[in-house]
Amino acid sequence: MRKRNKNEAYTTVLEIISFYICILQQPKTDCNQKRLIIMNAQTYPRTNDFQTIYLNTVIKNPNIIVGDYTIYNDFVNDPTLFEKNNVLYHYPINKDRLIIGKFCSIACGSKFLFNSANHTLKSLANYTFPLFFEEWGLDKKDVASAWDNKGDITIGNDVWIGYEAVIMSGVHIGDGAIIASRAVVTKDVPPYTIVGGTPAKEIRLRFDADTIARLQELQWWNWPIEKIRSNLPLIMNGEIDKLKYSSFTGNRS
């Protein structure tokens, strides 16, 4: 989780004082917005934007792991309900995990569908009899035989997942990849690859092979935050030659 600077900490103290003054002077309902700001000082990266969150600040499930600065935006539902609305069929019995790296951008309505959504193909019937063990006199411990377990969903660093994209169980998405809006991703996506469609297929690479290799070597998302900050002009302008030189010289702001 990112650390607050002195200005942010000072602002939070003022907000807390303001909140309690608000309670004394106004009905409790009028203070809800102030309370929201105070209780989530690290959750919302932009002032007065409650549709975008740092995702790892709201995750409670130990089988969901999210890196720092990864954001989720939702203009339909409360983005803090990501675990409930976006991570589906994720039952503890499978012990499967959702792993998302740092600096990812996840658009509204993106879904991660886990193993319990996969009706087993070994059965002659699509119907999931083991789930209804009481009705059919089956053993409760065999519930997981109702589906095929394909493993964890793993998202790399600096991945952009578009509006209402669907990521299926067992998929690994490499660093720097882009998933187009409403794509259904059923297979692994290599680093810095753009995919789209149903099922998702490669559209093109983001960069040439040499640039991709150099980016994977640099792994800028693992740099100290101040180093990232001081190199932002180079990162945003695509100046990888200067960026590589900067990484070796250890330039800092």
Number of helices and strands (H, E) in the chain? Answer: 8, 15
Q: Cβ–Cβ contacts within 10 Å for residue 170, how many? A: 19
Using CA atoms, how far apart are residues 43 and 51, in angstroms rounded to an integer? 11
φ and ψ at residue 42, rounded to 5 degrees: -100, 0
pLDDT, residue 25, reads: 57
* Burial (Cβ within 10 Å: 0-12, 13-18, ≥19) of residue 208: exposed
pLDDT, residue 7, reads: 47
Superfamily designation of domain 52-206: Hexapeptide repeat proteins (2.160.10.10)
pLDDT, residue 11, reads: 46
Q: State pLDDT tens for residues 178-187.
A: 999 999 999 9
Catalytic residue among 35, 97, 111, 119: 119
pLDDT, residue 100, reads: 99
Tokens 């945003």, located at residue:
236
Is residue 90 flagged as an active site residue?
no
Q: Kindly report the pTM of this predicted structure.
A: 0.80
Contact at 8 Å (CB) between 31 and 19?
yes
Instruction: Name the residue among 233, 205, 202, 206 with its Cα closest to residue 220.
Output: 233
Distance of CA 69 to the CA centre of its chain: 9
The CA-atom distances, in angstroms, between 198 and each of 67, 112, 225 are 28, 15, 37
> Where along the chain do its domains lie?
1-42, 52-206
Instruction: Measure the CA angle with vertex 118, ends 184 and 185; round to 5°.
Output: 15
The helix (H) or strand (E) run that includes residue 35 is: helix 32-39
- 3: DSSP letter: P
Contact at 8 Å (CB) between 82 and 51?
no
pLDDT, residue 93, reads: 83
pLDDT, residue 29, reads: 46
Please list the rounded mean pLDDT of every run of 10 residues in the chain (253 residues).
Answer: 50 50 52 46 88 95 96 97 96 92 98 90 89 89 84 98 98 99 98 98 98 96 95 95 69 39
Q: What residues contact residue 207 under an 8 Å CB cut-off, 6+ apart?
A: 192, 215
Q: State pLDDT tens for residues 97-108.
A: 999 999 999 999
Using CA atoms, how far apart are residues 232 and 109, in angstroms rounded to an integer? 29
pLDDT, residue 251, reads: 44
